[in-house]
C-alpha cells in the first residue's frame, strides 16, 4: 500500500470507512486513551481542529487500550468522555490495537513509514521511555507505537510526512500542521 487512502478502518459504530474519503486533506492520525497522562492533548487537538478544519484538515482519533489499560471503556463511553470533557468534534474510530499480532494494518503502515526514534531528552522522557519499554516488551518486534497520543501527519496526497511522539510540544505539532496546510 502506498498511501493511507488504501486502508479501510471501522468507525466507532463498527461501520467500514475507506480513508480515501479523506483524499486531498491534511490528516493527523492519533492513537488515544482516556486515562493517560497525555489525555489533556485533547484540548490542543480540538483547538487545532477548530482552527484548521475549514482549510482541509482532519484529525482521526483511534482509541487504544494497549498502554497500561488507559482506555478501558467501550466506544460509547470513550466517545462520551471525549465530547463531554474536551468537546471533541473530530472523527473518532473504533478502538484498535497498535502493537502486536492484532495491530491495525493502518498503524503498522504508519510506523513503517515513520519509525519510532525515541521520546526525546529530559527526565520526563527518560521515565516514559522506561515505562513504555516495560509495557511494550510483550510485543517484541511487533511494537510499532511507543505510547498513547502518538501522532502521524499525512499530506494531501496521503503520504506520511511526520511523526510526533506524545512528548512533542503541541505548539510544535500545530506549527507543522499549519506548514502542511
Active site (catalytic) residues: 36
Strands 160-164 and 151-154: antiparallel
Cβ contact 163:14 at 8 Å: no
Which helix H or strand E contains 59, and what residues bound it?
Answer: strand 57-63
Cα separation of 59 and 88, whole Å?
10
3-state secondary structure of 170: helix
Cα separation of 124 and 113, whole Å?
26
Cα separation of 65 and 167, whole Å?
19
Q: Which residue has the cell 513503517?
A: 112
Cβ contact 60:91 at 8 Å: yes
Angle at which helix 75-86 crosses helix 42-52, to 10 degrees, equals 70
CB atoms within 10 A of CB 175: 11
Amino acid at each position: 500500500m502506498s498511501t493511507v487512502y488504501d486502508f479501510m478502518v471501522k468507525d466507532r459504530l463498527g461501520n467500514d470507512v475507506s480513508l480515501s474519503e479523506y483524499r486531498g486533506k491534511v490528516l493527523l492520525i492519533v492513537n488515544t486513551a482516556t486515562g493517560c497522562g497525555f489525555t489533556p492533548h485533547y484540548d490542543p487537538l480540538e483547538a487545532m481542529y477548530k482552527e484548521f478544519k475549514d482549510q482541509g484538515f482532519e484529525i482521526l482519533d483511534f482509541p487504544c487500550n494497549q498502554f497500561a489499560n488507559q482506555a478501558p471503556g467501550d466506544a460509547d463511553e470513550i466517545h462520551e468522555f471525549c465530547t463531554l470533557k474536551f468537546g471533541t468534534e473530530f472523527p473518532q474510530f473504533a478502538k484498535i490495537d497498535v502493537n502486536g499480532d492484532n495491530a491495525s494494518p493502518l498503524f503498522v503502515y504508519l510506523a513503517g513509514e515513520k519509525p519510532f526514534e525515541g521520546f526525546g531528552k529530559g527526565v520526563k522522557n527518560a521515565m516514559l521511555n522506561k515505562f513504555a519499554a516495560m509495557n511494550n516488551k510483550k510485543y517484541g518486534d511487533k511494537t510499532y507505537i511507543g505510547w498513547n497520543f502518538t501522532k502521524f501527519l499525512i499530506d494531501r496526497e496521503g503520504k506520511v510526512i511526520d511523526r510526533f511522539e506524545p512528548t512533542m510540544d503541541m505548539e510544535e505539532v500545530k506549527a507543522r500542521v499549519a506548514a502542511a496546510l
